[in-house]
Amino acid sequence: MVGGPLRRRVLIIAAQLMLLLAGISLMLAVALSVMMTMRERLPTTPVPVHLAESVHPSNESSIAQTDSSVAYREGLPAHSDASATPLLRNTPTPHAPPQRVGIVSGHAGYDPGAVCPDGTTEAEVNMAIAKIVVELLTQQGYHVDLLEEFDARLRGYRADALVSIHADSCEVPGASGFKVARITDSAIPEAEDRLVECLYREYEAVTGLRRHPNSVTDNMTNYHAFREIDPYTPGAIIETGFLLEDYAYIVRRPRMVARGIVNGIVCFLQQSP
Q: What is the pLDDT of residues 141-174, one digit of tens each?
A: 999 999 999 999 999 999 999 999 999 999 999 9
* DSSP tag of 229: S
* Per-residue pLDDT tens listing for the chain (273 residues): 445 677 777 778 877 778 777 778 777 776 777 666 666 554 444 433 333 333 333 444 433 343 333 333 333 333 333 333 333 333 333 456 799 999 999 999 999 999 999 999 999 999 999 999 999 999 999 999 999 999 999 999 999 999 999 999 999 999 999 999 999 999 999 999 999 999 999 999 999 999 999 999 999 999 999 999 999 999 999 999 999 999 999 999 999 999 999 999 999 999 977
Distance of alpha carbon 14 from alpha carbon 11, whole angstroms: 5
SS3 238: strand
Residue 104: partners with Cβ closer than 8 Å, 6 or more residues away? 130, 147, 148, 149, 151, 154, 162, 163, 164, 165, 225
Q: 211 has which bridge partners?
A: 178
Distances (CA, A) of 269 to 55, 101, 146, 161, 192: 52, 9, 18, 8, 11
Architecture of domain 100-271: 3-Layer(aba) Sandwich (3.40)
Q: Tell me the whole-structure pTM to 2 decimals.
A: 0.66
Distances (CA, A) of 38 to 26, 28, 33, 43, 177: 18, 15, 9, 10, 97
* DSSP tag of 160: S
**Which of left, alpha, beta for 208 (phi over 0: left; psi -120 to 50: alpha)?**
left
Contact status, residue 108 vs residue 123, Cβ threshold 8 Å: yes
SS3 108: coil
